[in-house]
Amino acid sequence: MLNQPTTSQSATRHALSQDEDAFKNDPAASLAGVRGKDVTRAAKALLKDSAKRGGGSIQMQDVVKIYPGAAKRALDDFNLDIKPGEMVVLLGGSGCGKSTALRSLAGLEDIQGGRILVGGQDVTGTPVNKREMAMVFQSYSLFPHMTALENVAFGLEVRGMGKAERRKTAMEQLELVGLADQAGKYTQQMSGGQQQRVALARALAIKPRVLLLDEPLSALDAKVRVQLRDQIRSIQLTTGTTTVFVTHDQEEALAVADRIGVMNKGRIEQIAAPRDLYQRPATEYVATFIGLTNRMPGASNGEEAVVFGQRLPLITGSAQGDAVTVLIRPENLTLIRADANDSHVGEHARVAAIHFLGALVRVDTVITSGEYQHRGNSKPLEVTVQLPAGELPDGLAIGDDVIVTPRPVAALAC
Amino acid sequence: MAVNNADNTAPTAPMPPQLRAARARRQSIIKFVILLFTLGFLLVPLIAMLVFTLRHPLSGRWSLAPWVAIFTGNGETLGADLTVLWQGLGSSLALCVVTVAIMLLLMVPTMVIVHIRSRALERAIEWVATLPLTIPAIVLVVGLGPIYRWLSADVLNTNPIWLCFAYVVLVMPFAFRAIAVGLNSIDVKTLVEASRSLGASWPKVFFKVIIPNLWQSILSASFISIAVVLGEYTVASLLGRMNLQVALYQLGQSNSQISTAMSLLALLFGVVLLVALDLISGAMRKRKEGK
């Protein structure tokens, strides 16, 4: 579940730029500071704008889904609120309900409770084919008896568009995904990546109010996956289509999302911009699910904690107590050689492994001081530290004695 | 394959190329003998039938008379009345059409819906569809007898075309298999969900997405059903209806040469059907996969 810190770093960088994107794409942001009649006018303009751009807001309110014969709820009072033009990623392990949420939104699953609104209209009882949503599936879903072009034109044909016009529109969509030269090919003649791009073009061709992506990249190999996810994001930004993307891959989620909803047991644990999610996780589940985290013993008063003698601020919602677990990212720890220590903070540790990751170095250490043990078992406390390569003490080797100190960066205690 | 190996003198070859060539030759001779034996086993009865139609069993004279009688439709020279044969052939062909139509209307939508909605129900239907294979025809007829008595007396009439209901039951196991193969070869659920989410209504999903992808299996289900209906004797005979096989049997009582010739023709028709099926499905596959 934990990923390499390189990922976390690049994700943080990504998050920074995503934040700006989110602002650009969020027309509601321009409403700030407007009053009275102006609000109405601005709201109307906003609605018109979002309708023009094909985006619809989405509200899923207290949605309950129970599969026949299942004891547990697949969706348990599930709530989700998405702004027009936003790209929200639902992230979670298998069985957390993320696909069920997407399929309920699409109308492919009947729900047992709650409401679903798209663009302010209640679509809870609307059949799938009337919801004006388009979906890209994990398994290849192109119609095998049609060419790529015919596949893309299918949704238009269903809507009664003339033959010449739908050919033209379909061709434009194929160009958008860079597959115009594959228009006459059948499914079996295309690679997996090409098939998913045609599926994307097919979904976009009908100008859906909402684009639904159900792990569209899971069946592809790593390189194609990265290319296609970037392409999906840039197309989504161009068309401004409200998009819900479901994945179990946190790197994918961090890379494309305006906001990520981390799901657990049929609910969203936390929904926030990738950067917030990484830096200010609301729960232990979120903190450990995204990126790499050290579980370190400490004492907390709810606002501040002391870990290894170092005081550090806590994220709102942290636990209080003399024996809490503080979740600290590897990059928020630092280490120096034991003999160079001239401070009273930090704790002695032995270097267990050193991983060079280019610009960064990850050092696995085992705390040697006996008072820090993992609660509940007698295994020594293992702590991973991540440093810029330049900060690594010269000639540090496995077995060396070091001192590990947390940096004073906000962390979550639980 | 074996010949290719013989030419291959790769260092991993366990024995000298000459020896391997010899073994390959020996293997191909064995294959040839087996093929010949099988062909003989299958063809001897057919050749015997053909000879029987050409050589009069009592006088030993060779003549084309039975074939002439069939193709001119006039059996008077041989003292046979062919009207019963035409009658039987006519009703069998009509039965083929009606049976296939009912079978497709009944089976295709049912199987598609069940395939999408419920795996458990699909297994139940498979079991039911296979029943006619396991129940002997004679047992089936015992059950069908009273129903057909009631059908012909109170609801419809004694026209042999109404055998189609019984025949739909008879072809069910074969048709089920053929259609199931088609359904399992495509991801029906995803295709349906994809087309639904693109805005297609159920009829559109069915006719524009599912049926075009099931063409091959629908064809093969139809051809197999036709072959079964053309060869059916027991039910028609025991229910006292006239079809091709019953007519052939009756004709065999008065002129066995014409009857045998007609049986050969019916068999040939079946073979042509199956070969056509193979060719059509092969061509369709090729078109889709490209050159």
Task: With CB atoms and an 8 Å threshold, state whether B191 touches A141.
Answer: yes
Q: How far is A252 from chain B (nearest CA, A)?
A: 23
> Residue A195 domain-assigned?
no
pLDDT above 60: residue B198: yes
Task: With CB atoms and an 8 Å threshold, state whether B190 touches A141.
Answer: yes
Return the amino acid letter for B85.
L
Query: What is the SS3 assignment for B57?
Result: coil
Task: With CB atoms and an 8 Å threshold, state whether A158 touches B191.
Answer: no
Task: With CB atoms and an 8 Å threshold, state whether A137 touches B194.
Answer: yes
Residues A119 and A256 in one domain: yes
Residues A393 and A356 in one domain: yes
- What does the pLDDT look like over A139-155, one tens digit per residue? 889 999 899 999 999 99
Record the pTM: 0.74
CATH of residue A328 = 2.40.50.100
Cβ-based contacts of B194 with chain A (< 8 Å):
135, 137, 141-143, 199, 202
Select from A281, A305, A331 the last residue of a domain: A281
Q: How far is A127 from chain B (nearest CA, A)?
A: 9
- B198 inside 8 A of chain A by CB: yes
Chain B residue at shortest CA distance from A138: B190
Mean predicted confidence (pLDDT) in A315-335: 88
Looking at residue B55, its pLDDT comes to: 87
> Residue A398 domain-assigned?
yes
Task: With CB atoms and an 8 Å threshold, state whether B198 touches A134.
Answer: yes
pLDDT above 50: residue A6: no
Read off the pLDDT band of B272 (50, 70, 90): confident
User: Hey, how many other C-beta atoms are within 10 angstroms of the C-beta on A100?
Assistant: 24
Q: How far is A161 from chain B (nearest CA, A)?
A: 13
Chain A residues 19-78 with CB within 8 Å of chain B: none
> Residue A321 domain-assigned?
yes
How many domains are there within chain A? 2
Burial code (b: 16+ CB inside 10 Å, e: under 16) for A24-60 equals ebebeeeeeeeeeeeeeebeeeeeeebeebbbbbbbb
Lowest mean pLDDT segment, chosen from A103-117, A128-142, B133-147, B165-179: B133-147
Half-sphere exposure of A377 (CA within 13 A, CB side): 4
> Residue A226 domain-assigned?
no
CATH of residue A21 = 3.40.50.300
Select from A252, A281, A310 the last residue of a domain: A281
Closest residue to B290, CB basis, from A134, A135, A189: A189
Residues A310 and A373 in one domain: yes
Residues A343 and A384 in one domain: yes
- A188 inside 8 A of chain B by CB: yes
Q: What is the 3-class SS of A286-339, one letter each residue?
A: HHHHCCCCEEEEEEEECCEEEECCEEEEECCCCCEEEEEEEEECHHHEEEEEHH
User: Hey, how many other C-beta atoms are within 10 angstroms of the C-beta on B232?
Assistant: 23
Residues A276 and A302 in one domain: no
> Can you tell me the distance from the alpha carbon of A206 to that of B165, in angstroms, rounded to the nearest whole number?
45
- Give chain B's domains with CATH numbers: 2-54 (no CATH), 81-289 (1.10.3720.10)
Residues A304 and A408 in one domain: yes
Looking at residue A308, its pLDDT comes to: 87
- B154 inside 8 A of chain A by CB: no
> Can you tell me the distance from the alpha carbon of A182 to that of B253, in angstroms, rounded to the nearest whole number?
65
**Cβ-Cβ contacts under 8 Å for A146 (sequence gap 6 or more):** A154, A186
DSSP A54-82: T---EEEEEEEE--TT-SS-SEEEEEEEE
**Higher pLDDT residue, B273 or B93?**
B93
Task: With CB atoms and an 8 Å threshold, state whether B194 touches A128.
Answer: no
- B213 inside 8 A of chain A by CB: yes
pLDDT above 80: residue B287: no
Interface test with B, best of A67, A136, A143, A152 (most B CBs within 10 A): A143
**Higher pLDDT residue, B197 or A345?**
B197
> Residue A151 domain-assigned?
no
Residues A366 and A407 in one domain: yes
Task: With CB atoms and an 8 Å threshold, state whether B289 touches A108.
Answer: no
Task: With CB atoms and an 8 Å threshold, state whether B288 touches A143.
Answer: no
Task: With CB atoms and an 8 Å threshold, state whether A135 touches B290.
Answer: no
pLDDT above 90: residue B141: no
> Residue A210 domain-assigned?
no
> Residue A119 domain-assigned?
yes
Q: What percent of chain A is modeled with pLDDT above 70?
A: 84
Q: Between β-strands A242-247 and A210-214, what pairing exists: parallel, antiparallel or unpaired?
A: parallel
Task: With CB atoms and an 8 Å threshold, state whether B197 touches A106.
Answer: yes
Q: With 0-12 CB in 10 A as exposed, 13-18 as middle and 19+ as buried, what is B23?
A: middle
- For residue A120, what are the domain limits? 1-25+54-125+242-281
- What does the pLDDT look like over A369-384, one tens digit per residue? 766 655 555 677 889 9
Q: How far is B193 from chain A (nearest CA, A)?
A: 7
Task: With CB atoms and an 8 Å threshold, state whether A134 touches B197.
Answer: yes
> Residue A101 domain-assigned?
yes
- B123 inside 8 A of chain A by CB: no
Mean predicted confidence (pLDDT) in B45-53: 90
- What does the pLDDT look like over B90-99, one tens digit per residue? 899 899 999 9
- What does the pLDDT look like over B75-85, one tens digit per residue? 676 667 778 88
Task: With CB atoms and an 8 Å threshold, state whether A143 touches B204.
Answer: no
> Can you tell me the distance from the alpha carbon of B190 to that of A194, in angstroms, rounded to the nearest whole number?
18
Block residue for tokens 């729900």: A111
Task: With CB atoms and an 8 Å threshold, state whether A135 touches B197.
Answer: yes
- B278 inside 8 A of chain A by CB: no
Select from A281, A310, A342 the last residue of a domain: A281
Q: What is the mean pLDDT of chain A?
A: 84
Residues A277 and A307 in one domain: no
Residues A1 and A121 in one domain: yes
- What does the pLDDT look like over B251-264, one tens digit per residue? 778 788 888 888 88
Q: Across chain B, where does the E strand assignment appear? A: none
Task: With CB atoms and an 8 Å threshold, state whether A185 touches B187.
Answer: no
**Higher pLDDT residue, A8 or A83?**
A83
Whether A406 contacts A329, CB under 8 Å: no
- A129 inside 8 A of chain B by CB: yes
- What does the pLDDT look like over A187-196, one tens digit per residue? 888 999 999 9
Residues A257 and A333 in one domain: no
Looking at residue A201, its pLDDT comes to: 93
Return the amino acid letter for A101.
A
Looking at residue A261, its pLDDT comes to: 94
Cβ-based contacts of A203 with chain B (< 8 Å):
197-198
ipTM over 0.90: no
Cβ-based contacts of A145 with chain B (< 8 Å):
212-213, 215, 288
User: Reading across the β-sheet that carries A242-247, which strands appear in turn?
Assistant: A133-136, A210-214, A242-247, A87-91, A259-264, A267-272
- What does the pLDDT look like over B207-223, one tens digit per residue? 999 999 998 889 889 98
Instruction: Give me the total of CB pairs closer than 8 Å, taking one residue from chain A and one from chain B.
Output: 81
Q: What percent of chain A is modeled with pLDDT above 90?
A: 39
Residues A110 and A18 in one domain: yes
Q: With 0-12 CB in 10 A as exposed, 13-18 as middle and 19+ as buried, what is B204?
A: middle
Q: With 0-12 CB in 10 A as exposed, 13-18 as middle and 19+ as buried, what is B57?
A: exposed
Residues A117 and A249 in one domain: yes
Looking at residue A101, its pLDDT comes to: 93
- A286 inside 8 A of chain B by CB: no
- B197 inside 8 A of chain A by CB: yes
Chain A residues 142-171 with CB within 8 Å of chain B: 142-145, 154-155, 158-159
